[in-house]
Amino acid sequence: MYDPKTIKPFISKERFIELLFENEWASRCYQGIRRGDRFLRKIQFTDTCWLWVGPFSEYGYGRVTIEYKTLNSHRVAYKVAYGDIQPGMHLDHVVARGCNNRNCLNPNHLEEVTVKINTLRAFEKCVNKKKTHCKNGHEFTPSNTYRFYNPTSNSYGRECRTCRLVRNHKYCRKKPNDHHQNTQDHLSTSQIGIQVGM
């Protein structure tokens, strides 16, 4: 999955700072301080990762406002180092390069990839992938696993079908007039277990 040929030229901390101030927005001042200096103050440079210590999104990515737009800080750092990101492409924190930190801005740890590759890599390192049973003890078998896409977080997930059916059954019993009823809604818990092979 990881292709070493996609590595871009190495960018040192010093070169990154030079490139940063070549951007017009970074050289402009706000309240007497250059915006580039404000950006650098929110980065903790370590031997490997450049960690963002400013504001974060709900998904753990650094956030920065530039020209009245709120952006992901790692995308800003990548654009400073290598130029524009191709439309529709995502940036992946590459584990093979020693990084799995969402708040890392080091452009040497980032790779431009398609949404599909980014999702597959995320799924490979995902803790939930290793779970064999749901929180209620039902096994994740092909027939008992419901897979879904969440457009809000732009991610894929899975859920136990048995728990999903029980939850839907309870919900429909609470609001019988609000939803179209079918025979599936009236199954008992034991019948649900039989239906999915439990």
Q: Is the pTM higher than 0.75?
A: no
Residues 6+ apart with CB under 8 A from 38: 30
Which of 75-79, 129-133, 138-142 has the lowest average pLDDT? 129-133
Q: Using the predicted structure, report yes or no on whether residue 104 has a pLDDT greater than 60.
A: yes
| pLDDT tens by residue, 143-159 | 999 988 877 666 678 88
Whether 72 and 61 have beta carbons less than 8 Å apart is answered as: yes
**Structural domains in the chain plus CATH codes:** 4-125 (3.90.75), 128-195 (no CATH)
Q: Which H or E run includes 25?
A: helix 24-27
C-beta neighbour count of 23 within 10 angstroms:
16
Distance CA 125, CA 102 (A): 13
Distance CA 55, CA 42 (A): 9
- The mean per-residue pLDDT over the stretch 30-43 comes to 88
Which of 5-19, 65-79, 150-164, 183-197 has the lowest average pLDDT? 183-197
Structure-block tokens of residue 110 = 């980032």
Q: What's the whole-number average pLDDT of the chain?
A: 80
